[in-house]
Structure 1
Amino acid sequence: MKDEQYYYYLIYKPFNTLTQFKGEGDTLADLYDFPKDVYPVGRLDKDSEGLLILTNDKAINHQLLHPKFKHKKEYWVQVEGEITEDALKQLRAGVTINVEKKDHFTAPAWAKRIAEPPLEKRNPPIRERKNIPTSWVSLTITEGKNRQVRKMVASVGFPCLRLVRAGIEELKVEGMKIGEVKKIAQDRLYESVFGDRKYKPQARLQKAEKRFSTDVLKPKSGIKKLGKRNFKRPEGEESRPNKPTSNNKPNRFKSGKSNKR
């Protein structure tokens, strides 16, 4: 049986493009002729831009998206107004946002003000108000709630004007053009995301599946039953008295008189 062939792509998703291959409007299918079994790892909202991984490696999807692995995703956020240090402190500590009509307190994040990053102009351009300045924030999170970054900056008083995913761990969008697609080798992706060129998430998943399978509870064929141990008591140690049997077990209640009243 042939080993499955895995494909890995990095793309700079443009603004106003859906993170899917079918639908009304612009989709990923308009960027490149991808293999049929390739799909995006996670998603970016239609009005967000930036780095997206596409692959047919299902283990990558699990390892990158499950919250317990806490993979870092960096976003460059252009906000309305001059971001303050107090607002950045709140973002670092965590803020309350609404997720599926419930309050969610975000995990601690990395937040700092940055100079305007070297990005191409967005098409269409953002809606700026001439009398209100804008500023840029680098915000790194380990969660992935719906529209989380936008909700976070809005909660501290700075609405989002433009949102670009700048990186996933050590994979960066910097240097890529809007709409660009790059094929990446498996070992390079593993090293950039997991820190190990020889990382094997598939094997790890297979082991986990076997560990929790009911089959592992069945005894293996050919295993001999264990007999009694050939245990020798050290010289000089008295042997333990035999356990009384039902016939010779002492009866504490036995007496000449009946206990019945």
Structure 2
Amino acid sequence: MSKYRYIIFHKPYGVLSQFTQETPKHRTLKDYIPVPDVYPVGRLDWDSEGLLLLTNNGQLQHRLANPRFGHERTYWAQVERIPDAEAINKLQTGIKIQDYRTRPAKVRLLLEEPSVGDRNPPIRFRKNVPTAWLEITLTEGKNRQVRRMTAAVGFPTLRLVRVSIAHLQLHNLQPGQWRDLTRAELEIFLG
């Protein structure tokens, strides 16, 4: 039996990507995952949802978190209004945010709303302002990068769900649920 644990977790909205509680009002990973000595690989902000990988394998944590290795992370971003081709092109080719330029990204407008379930609390709804979903795949993970990217091209993110890291996907894992990676997932991941 391996001494390492590899856990995939569907982080709900409003949960910090850490085990220690900074303020009583925020839930943490400790509220969901009763496994000692595992730590998240990267982060999802408290207001973001979706796939979070946890492990006690420090070498794998480093490899996945380091942008030099360029692991793809795919997000579904619900944005205010419907992005035009120019905005999508800017997101794809890279844009300047604060003091850096983002790497090229894969970006496409989803023609149908993805099945992500309801969020609690729901996003703000404005009857006269439509929303759209973008699928954005990055190979870097700067702080609040997707939100900053969509805002920079004029389409602020209302809801953000990470759906994959490399080949790992959420599939049918519901918010708040976790599981160990399968042998097949691990073999592909650890190569």
- 2:13 matched residue in structure 1: 15
- 2:3 matched residue in structure 1: 5
Select the structure with the greater relative contact order (CA < 8 A; seq sep ≥ 6).
Answer: 2
- Whether 1:142 and 2:142 are equivalent positions in the alignment is no
1:106-121 aligned at under 5 Å gives the runs 106-114=102-110, 115-121=112-118
Unaligned runs of 5+ in 1: 200-261
1:33 maps to a residue whose letter is P
Q: 1:187 to 1:58 in 2, by over 3 A?
A: farther
1:121-150 per-position Cα deviation (integer Å, ceiling 9, x unaligned): 000000121110000000000011110000
Contact 1:8 1:186 survives alignment (8 Å): no
1:83-122 aligned at under 5 Å gives the runs 83-98=83-98, 103-114=99-110, 115-122=112-119
Q: How many corresponding residue pairs?
A: 187
1:77-114 per-position Cα deviation (integer Å, ceiling 9, x unaligned): 0000011111111100001112xxxx211000000001
Contact 1:120 1:178 survives alignment (8 Å): no
Find the aligned partners of 1:97 and 1:83 in 2 and give their Cα distance.
18
1:1-261 aligned at under 5 Å gives the runs 5-23=3-21, 24=23, 25-34=26-35, 36-98=36-98, 103-114=99-110, 115-185=112-182, 187-191=184-188, 193=189, 199=191
Contact 1:13 1:179 survives alignment (8 Å): yes
Percent identical: 45
Question: What is the TM-score normalised by the length of structure 2?
Answer: 0.94
1:110 maps to a residue whose letter is K
Structure with the largest fraction of strand? 2
Contact 2:147 2:156 survives alignment (8 Å): yes
Unaligned runs of 5+ in 2: none
Contact 1:112 1:137 survives alignment (8 Å): yes
Find the aligned partners of 2:41 and 2:184 in 1 and give their Cα distance.
17
Contact 2:168 2:185 survives alignment (8 Å): no
Larger radius of gyration: 1
1:29 maps to a residue whose letter is K
Contact 2:13 2:49 survives alignment (8 Å): yes
1:70 maps to a residue whose letter is G
Question: What is the TM-score normalised by the length of structure 1?
Answer: 0.69
* Two-structure CA RMSD over aligned residues (Å): 1.4
2:116 maps to a residue whose letter is L
